[in-house]
Amino acid sequence: MIQQQTDYAMLMASLPPHPMSLWDQKNKPVSRLHLERRLSLLNEQDKQQLLEIESILHWAKMRDGNSDAEIAVEAERVVQSVTNPLSKKVIIWRMELRTIISAIRRRKLGREVPAKNERWGYGEVVPFIRRNWQMDDFSLSHRFAWIKEANTLFETEQSVELEKLLLNLSWEHYESIGYSHYFDFEAVLIYVLRWNIINRWTQCDEAIAMRQFDMLVSSGLGDFLK
């Protein structure tokens, strides 16, 4: 345990800190290759957990052709397989965000309320969405203050602003849940997840965002946050 703490302290100390604001970052603080080299200090169990978490949180790592039901099932499998409480919270929060955006997409396409026995989303938000399908915020604004804004941006096809909203939501959420972690697996996880957001943002331009918007409209639980 002492050796692990030392290794993780070395790992985090070797990485440049993330900026306070996502919009202040023009370049990645460290290359993925360098990051992977530092991640070699993780023990085997934590390496596997990190791989599992990234596999479900980042659409680009999902297999082609996964249905909403398959993604929801896989998310639950990963939640049950990880032993770290913060990791579980990260997955659940992100999957609920995806579910809300997927519901907005479905509604924009004119689809009916998902059937009660249909496996299409994830988390405690699913029954709220089903019961409040016609409400702009699905009666969830008390928990997710950003829903009405996201719905407006989606309806008006403001792809760049929608992507910025989704990226910043995750950026700030990860900061808020990781504030008390410095030299442990949780700190590493949050660093990697925020690195992925920076990587997406630094590659972002309007043309890419418009293509991502088109993908979002047609891809269920997929999202912008690769």
Percentage of the chain modeled with pLDDT above 70? 85
**Greater pLDDT, 132 or 83:** 132
Q: What is the mean pLDDT of the chain?
A: 86
Q: How many CB atoms lie within 10 A of CB 122?
A: 26
Residue 226 forms part of a structural domain: no
Predicted confidence (pLDDT) per residue in 94-128, tens digit: 999 999 999 999 998 899 999 888 888 999 999 99
Residue 223 forms part of a structural domain: no
Residue 140 forms part of a structural domain: yes
Residue 211 forms part of a structural domain: yes
Least confident of 40-44, 73-77, 178-182, 214-218: 214-218
Range of the domain at 29: 2-218
**Greater pLDDT, 30 or 215:** 30
Q: How many CB atoms lie within 10 A of CB 33?
A: 7
- Cα dist. 35→40, 83, 183, 185, 193 in Å? 9, 23, 15, 14, 12
Q: How many CB atoms lie within 10 A of CB 139?
A: 14
Which of 199, 200, 184 is CA-nearest to residue 85?
A: 184
Supply the DSSP string of 65-104, one letter for each residue. T--HHHHHHHHHHHHHH---HHHHHHHHHHHHHHHHHHHH
CA dihedral 183, 184, 185, 191 (to 10 degrees): -30
**pLDDT given at position 225:** 44
Q: Which two tokens stand for residue 86?
A: 């913060």
Q: Which two tokens stand for residue 20?
A: 């306070």
Report the domain count for the chain.
1
Predicted confidence (pLDDT) per residue in 5-64, tens digit: 888 999 999 999 998 888 877 788 899 999 999 999 999 999 999 999 998 887 544 544
Predicted confidence (pLDDT) per residue in 180-197, tens digit: 899 999 999 999 999 999
Residue 145 forms part of a structural domain: yes
Which of 89, 94, 110 is CA-nearest to residue 225?
A: 94
Between CA 39 and CA 32 the distance in angstroms is 10
